[in-house]
Amino acid sequence: MTKLTLATLPAALLLVPSLAAAETYSKSDWPTAANQRPLTRAKGMIEVDADLYINLSKDRVGEPLGLAPDIHYGVDDRLTVSLIHDRGLCLSGEDKGCAKVYDDVGVRATYGLSSSEALALAVHGELKIASIDGGTLALPIGARARFNSGKIGVYADPTISLGLTDRDAGNPDSLALPISIAYQTSPELLVHLDTGLGGFLGTSLDGAAQLDNLGDTFAVPLGVGALYTVSTKLDVGARLTFPYLFGSELANDIGIDSRVLYLHANLRI
């Protein structure tokens, strides 16, 4: 039997199908069908994802309203670095749900472990400034997976966020587990149903649940949406989400009264 050493480890990893299987795409042959895309961007690709979010909650329509852009750069086919925003530019004003015009930013690295049409796996880590004004820092780490069977894709992104500052003042360790089921109705059109585990923590409108108080802070969201590929360089889409459909007692008290509309545009160059 061959002894496993540091010298033989790279060769041994090639025996693991999930790590050995890899399909790469360039900017010029990026898949039209969203369910076929890797979880990282092509080498040299810049993608700007702009989300316009509009609160449609009962008695709070448009409070807040804002634009949250993310910018991704493919360092190579496996590694993508990103500038991330949860709320980004809050445009509706202080009296309509905006504590600040701009108060959050994060830097994320995503590394693809495998990428095939059937299965894609990636890990990611982020240094997140949840509040620039308050100096609130967090470290979200997680793993993303995409499984395809025919026209159906299933996505999961379990993420634990570690509070680095202000842990006792609204920035504790938290857990989020978004899950999406997507159906590729045509090469251009993807429709999806979104659910999983969310909650009442974090600056994201979808939120997360506090790890040491999970039973009182978790919520199960429900969202429906569609993404249309205009070209290999542009997607547009929309998603309606109920962030607190059910879950903890607090989530059950809110239910369908809380809802958010997202309008997407993803530009690749």
Other C-beta atoms lying within 10 Å of the C-beta of residue 94:
11
Residue 1 predicted with pLDDT over 60: no
Q: Of 45 and 14, which is predicted with more confidence? A: 45
Question: What are the residues whose beta carbons fall under 8 Å from the beta carbon of 226, sequence distance 6 or more?
Answer: 189, 190, 191, 192, 237, 238, 239
Give the global pTM.
0.89
Other C-beta atoms lying within 10 Å of the C-beta of residue 26:
12
Tell me the C-alpha distance between 128 and 142, whole Å. Answer: 13
User: 110-122: per-residue pLDDT in tens?
Assistant: 999 998 989 999 9
pLDDT of 150 reads 94
Tell me the C-alpha distance between 49 and 125, whole Å. Answer: 19
pLDDT of 204 reads 62
Tell me the C-alpha distance between 183 and 178, whole Å. Answer: 17
Do 83 and 68 meet the contact criterion of CB atoms below 8 Å apart?
Answer: no
Question: What are the residues whose beta carbons fall under 8 Å from the beta carbon of 129, sequence distance 6 or more?
Answer: 104, 105, 106, 135, 136, 137
pLDDT band at 11 (very low <50, low <70, confident <90, very high): very low
Q: Left (φ > 0), alpha (ψ -120 to 50) or beta: where does 202 sit?
A: left
Q: Of 46 and 204, which is predicted with more confidence? A: 46
User: 175-204: per-residue pLDDT in tens?
Assistant: 999 999 999 999 999 999 999 999 998 656
> What letter does residue 250 receive in the DSSP assignment?
H
Tell me the C-alpha distance between 125 and 123, whole Å. Answer: 7
Q: Left (φ > 0), alpha (ψ -120 to 50) or beta: where does 88 sit?
A: left
